[in-house]
Structure 1
Amino acid sequence: MKRKLLVPMFVTTVLLASCGADPTENQTTAPVVEKEKSTTEQTTDHWTATKTGTAVSHIHGAGFWQDGRPVIATHTGLMEFRQDGWYELSSNRHDYMGFELVADGFYASGHPAQDSPYKNPLGVVRGTEKGETLEIRSLEGEADFHYMSAGFESESLYVYLEQATKELAPGFYRSLDGGVSFEPMKMDGIEGRGIAGITADASEPKRVFVYGPDGILVSDDGGDTFEPFLEQKNIVTMASTKGKLASITKDGASFDLVVSDLTDETETTVELPSLNADSVPIELVSQNGRLLLATSDNSVYVFEDEEWTQLLQAGKVK
């Protein structure tokens, strides 16, 4: 199913009730031993060219690999874009959810491939070597985090748990140890505000943003208390990089992209590519002056050298 927004609108009162339940902290103390690990030399290419006409669906995360190549997480695994087109990782073809890049890998959740040894759902997964090596950090077989954000440098995780696990009630949680354990966020200050998504600060472990139709709120204590950061704007998605925030607002039928410098408090407007009614921005990534954008019709764009290039049009590989 295609998403029209990054996440559905949550009912704030319900979320507050869930967060206020004071669930027991997850007691997992050590990551599960890796189940899959590449033993071949790093020079071996485990990516295969995607056939022309292939339909790509369920983009639930995007970013730039350490070598600069764009990558997306799809219903059938990871895909990266090279100069001659799209390529697919031949292993670990999981239905990743909440996929986010960090400095030397990624975090994700979701559902394992049919031939996988992992339990369903995946819980919290830490990936390295471009997804060839996976490590279960916690909650395998218990949690599927559709809404998870990871600090690019800090690796702090901020999540919304939709369904209860053995020890955690539904609600907002943080993990300051890379997904090994979770503790509830108090979420004071969000009363009466709609929340469409959550974004971890790239470098500050306890700074986190929530956004939605009422703007952006920021917390500097790990999500216990929030205060307004940007008000009276309908934010559909946003991204954090060190010292900067990029956000896309919706005004009527149009969208606007603004990059905010948190150091000198300046804003730069970036003109978006032409988007139709079926192209709602759902994923936005900012890294080293480049932007990556995915929309609800499974289109993908990259912004560099002051211009946008479309990498994927309506989910069809050309």
Structure 2
Amino acid sequence: MKRMLMLSLFLTPLLLTACGTEEVPSDTSQSENVTPPTKDEWQRVGSDETVSHIHGAGFWQDDERPVIATHDGLIEYREDGWYTLPTNRHDYMGFEVVEDGFYASGHPDRRTDFKNPLGVMHGKNHGTVLESRSLEGEADFHYMRAGYATGTLYVYLEEATSELEPGFYRSIDGGKSFEPMQVNGIEGVQVAGIVADATDAERVFLYGPSGILVSNDAGDSFEPLIESEQVVTVGEDDGQLAYIRQTDGSFEGVRFNLDDESTETFNLPELQVDAVPIELAIKEEHMLLVTSDNSVYEFTDGEWQTRLDAGELD
């Protein structure tokens, strides 16, 4: 499950994130692992396997297949089930699909030469090509979002590196360098996550138990966009937000038009008892929902379909 931070004089963790932190032996001489994309190397996941620690979801750019980032790498959904990439099976965090690939952080697969933690990684060709952009061996970004078309990164750094103090940062060069966000207007606000606008490089959102805040100056100042709503997760598409709010122990989906600020509610799938929505990806009318019990639901052709039931594969 995601963690939540109280932003006041200091940051206090309120929710737990499932993520391994053990040291991983590595050869520090390499910062890029490449598997030539000469063929479809994805392999069908066995029905006796389980999926855990889902920390990102989205749709591939070319075929709109659902993809999730897990403790054991990327897996994608096809008509006949789930498939995994046998290489680069990292414990991905902060996973975000963008126009030219994806960004991620986390901890490396022991069979690779990446340092632990991964820092900022940029992937291409559905994850067969992975390049280190910065902070390899220094930072594990649990809170990292990128604009789909802009590639602008917005992150929260939880632990200091050799050059950066904990705090909010942005990157306009694909994660190669970072500059601090001033984040004026968020004093005393509880923040559960960050969302980058798909097409406006300077628009970024923060969300949490009090609603959604928006910044139009790349995170230097924020103001309320949606107030007095307990927002648990948010997805962003060109011109709209989709978010899930909690009311009296139940959850409801809302689409928010960024142009005229109109809203429209939508039904959610029937969730398992005590399951909390933790990831929501949206692409036009297509949505992908992940819950805290490692269930995955896809909204397609006007209805929700269960793709993963509490981590169990069909």
Q: Are 1:178 and 2:174 an aligned pair?
A: yes
What percentage of aligned pairs have identical amino acids? Answer: 55
User: 1:39 — aligned with what?
Assistant: 36
After TM superposition, the structure 1 = structure 2 runs for residues 23-102 of structure 1, keeping only pairs within 5 Å, are: 35-41=32-38, 44-66=39-61, 67-102=63-98
Which residue among 190, 206, 213 is the counterpart of 1:210? 206
Deviation of the 1:33 alpha carbon: 8.2
Q: Give 1:123-162 correspondences, 5 Å limit.
A: 123-162=119-158
Distance 2:113 2:66 in 1: 28
Q: 1:277 is paired with a residue of what secondary structure? A: coil
Post-superposition CA distance 1:280-304 (Å, at most 9, x none)? 0000001132000000000000012
TM-score in terms of structure 2 length? 0.92
Partner residue, 1:194? 190
Deviation per residue, 1:70-104 (Å, 9 max, x gap): 00000000000000000000110000000000012
Question: Is contact 1:124–1:139 with CA below 8 Å preserved after alignment?
Answer: yes
Please, what is the CA RMSD of the aligned residues? 1.5
Q: Is the 8 A contact 2:37 2:125 kept in 1?
A: no
- Does residue 263 in structure 1 map to residue 226 in structure 2? no
Following TM superposition, the consecutive aligned residue runs of length 4 or more in structure 1 with deviations greater than 6 angstroms are none
Distance 1:63 1:285 in 2: 5
The match for 1:243 is 239
- Contact 2:7–2:187 (CA under 8 A) maintained in structure 1: no
Q: Which moved more, 1:162-171 or 1:255-264?
A: 255-264
8 Å CA contact retained: 2:6, 2:189? no
Unaligned regions of 5+ residues in structure 2, if any? 13-28
Cα distance in 2 for residues equivalent to 1:298 and 1:102: 23
Q: By how many angstroms is 1:15 displaced?
A: 4.5
Once residues 71 and 230 of structure 1 are traced to their aligned partners in structure 2, the CA distance between those partners, rounded to angstroms, is: 29
2:283 to 284, 287, 310: 287
TM-score by length of 1: 0.90
> Is the contact made by 2:288 and 2:296 (CA closer than 8 Å) also made in structure 1?
yes
State the distance in 2 between where 1:135 and 1:288 align: 29
C-alpha displacement at 1:37, in angstroms? 2.1
Distance 1:40 1:207 in 2: 34
Give secondary structure in 2 for the equivalent of 1:130.
Answer: helix
User: 2: CA distance between counterparts of 1:228 and 1:100?
Assistant: 25
Residue deviations 1:106-152, cap 9 Å, x none?
A: 00000000111111000000000000001110000000001101111
Report how far residue 310 of structure 1 moved: 0.5
Which residue is equivalent to 2:9?
Answer: 13
Query: How many aligned residue pairs are there?
Result: 297
Kept in 1, the 8 Å contact 2:5–2:11? The answer is no
Structure-2 residue corresponding to 1:166: 162
Give the alignment partner of residue 310 of structure 1, picking from 289, 299, 306: 306
The equivalent residue for 1:19 is none
Shift, 1:263, TM fit: 2.0
Provide the C-alpha distance between the structure 2 equivalents of 1:10 and 1:122, rounded to a whole number of angstroms: 26
Question: Aligned partners of 1:269, 1:305: CA distance in 2, in Å?
Answer: 17
Residue by residue, what CA displacement relative to the aligned partner does 1:32-71 show, whole Å, maximum 9, x if unpaired?
9862223352xx1111100002110000001001211100
